[in-house]
Structure 1
Amino acid sequence: MTPTSRRGLSARLGVAALGVGILAAVGGGSAFAADEDTVDVSVEIDPAAEPGVLALTVAAESAVLTEDDAAGTNRTFSGTLPTVTVTDTRLPEDVDPASFWYVMGSITDFVGNAGQPDIVSADAFGWYPSILAGNPSGGDQVVAPGDDVDPGTGGFRDAELLASVDSAVDAAGGAYAATAGLLLETPASVTPGAYSATITLTLLQG
């Protein structure tokens, strides 16, 4: 690079570094800043997808149930499970053709914040899974949602949210998102107050 070209590069870098400040110096005469403020700029960069990994992520750490319109003698409260995504960065040739994977959910009882009696989730909680993304358009399903679980059936202990349909080989190299409608059903006589429970989601491979 010649000295002249280096000087030219230095000048261009100087303009880039000055940024907005260069505008105040354009034109004759003196210039001053009448007022100024600042803008913070931030970015969060996730780790690059690691090859050869089957991983589970959840879009948010909490869900809120709100009461539905009154119907019958019970009270019902509904909400939505944050989006759950299974990402499989494995190559198909690295996956056992006889293997499969699935996501299971379990929930604790609902505990009151002021000593109210617990609401037993096995008797009162249910969910309704659905697939949001990942299956090819117009093609065979790669993943499928788990079965619906109605409140009061005692079935919500290890409930399936989504699963690979056949061999996990078919799902290799893809990302699959699911959610579920959440439903809590209590007697009308339930003690008022705030309650909380924890859903645990587990990605298993067989």
Structure 2
Amino acid sequence: MRINRTTQLLAAAVLGVALAGVGVAGPAMADDDPEEGIDVTVTIEPSTTHGQVSMTVADNGGVPLQEDGSNAAARQFVGTLPTVTVTDTRRPEEIPAGDFWAVVGQASEFTATSGSAPPIGPQYLGWRPRLLTGSSSGAVEAGEPVSSVISDGSGAPTVGLQGQELLVSTANSADEIGTWQVNADLTLRTPADVTAGEYRSTLTLSLFNQS
């Protein structure tokens, strides 16, 4: 509604200038036939393009985890997930009742890039999703935080990053439409005696839609 009011104000301002210009021309203009306006018409056919739910990840070169917060109980390494954007361009009538979508993250083992150090399982990697797009209706929510199997003391479930939700919609189709952004704080907590070396894991993000 705010856009409509702004448009009306702009049209009135333009119209006012045109009327002022006409007035300067003199009384003879009063004889103009007000019925000689030009009708402008347009026929807009129903759109045949169907909307969709899509996901993009911000350009990135990977996520380097840096040591921060280690103690006698565990070595801790932290980083930030690149911003993930989900866009739903469907119309309400295109969305089945009970339809919802979710972005789910699954980490692979951290394997040493050299040497024979044992891998670090995905259960040692946790995250804390953070919704970057405001949601007054609560139609879309960030996933629940999860911790490494070596607890960080936050009270989050100690299940690691094994098929966890990053972003999830509700089943209210009218409120799902829009663009949503999320990222997450990543935390890898390993045993204190973890073998030194460089490790690499792949974090796969998948967008699921279900009716």
Indicate whether the TM-score tops 0.5.
yes
Identity %: 40
Match of 1:113 in 2: 113
Partner deviation per Cα, 1:154-174 (whole Å, 9 max, x = no partner): 3421100011123233112x1
1:32-71 residue pairs with structure 2 within 5 A? 52-61=51-60, 62-71=62-71
Amino acid in the other structure paired with 1:66 = Q
Partner deviation per Cα, 1:66-93 (whole Å, 9 max, x = no partner): 0004333311000011001101111122
* In structure 2, C-alpha distance between the alignment counterparts of 1:90 and 1:184, rounded to whole Å: 37
Amino acid in the other structure paired with 2:195 = T
Distance 1:63 1:168, change over 3 A: farther
Question: In 1, are the aligned partners of 2:122 and 2:160 still within 8 Å (CA)?
Answer: no
Match of 2:35 in 1: none
* In structure 1, C-alpha distance between the alignment counterparts of 2:97 and 2:140, rounded to whole Å: 15
Q: Post-superposition shift, 1:57? A: 0.3
Q: Post-superposition shift, 1:183? A: 0.5
SS at match of 1:169: helix
Match of 2:188 in 1: 184
Distance 1:156 1:69, change over 3 A: closer
Distance 1:55 1:134, change over 3 A: farther
The normalised TM-score by structure 1 is: 0.69
Distance 1:56 1:78, change over 3 A: same
Q: How many residues align?
A: 152
The normalised TM-score by structure 2 is: 0.68
For the aligned residues, what is the CA RMSD?
1.6
Consecutive unaligned residues of structure 1, counting only runs of 5 or more, are 1-49
* In structure 1, C-alpha distance between the alignment counterparts of 2:173 and 2:181, rounded to whole Å: 16
Amino acid in the other structure paired with 1:106 = Q
Out of 134, 140, 145, the position equivalent to 1:143 is: 140
Match of 1:126 in 2: 126
Match of 2:152 in 1: none
2:146 is the alignment partner of 1:160: no
Amino acid in the other structure paired with 2:52 = V
